[in-house]
Amino acid sequence: MYCNYMSRLFKYFKLNWIPIILITLSIYDLRIDLRLLLDFFTFSSLFYTISEHPLAITVLITIPNLFNSLKKD
């Protein structure tokens, strides 16, 4: 039973390693700004985060679409 879950997990990582790495790197790039937003949310800090990290924001917005396209294959 445990081996079945592990094999499914490895298969999932094998098929989706690029989106997982992109999500990890995007969150790592936004780590300081996310902490500021969670501690002291202001709209100016939100707009600053979006304007200073457009690639990371774009990756996080488009990742669900990428996962859905991988499911169809």
pLDDT tens per residue, range 8-67: 888 888 888 888 899 999 999 999 999 999 999 999 999 999 999 999 999 999 988 777
> What pTM was computed for the model?
0.73
Q: Which residue do the tokens 């790197």 mark? A: 25
- Chain centre to alpha carbon of residue 48: 19
Distances (CA, A) of 12 to 19, 59, 67: 11, 20, 11
How far apart, in whole angstroms, are the C-alpha atoms of residue 73 and residue 25? 25
Distances (CA, A) of 18 to 2, 24, 60, 66, 70: 26, 10, 13, 10, 11
pLDDT of residue 69: 61
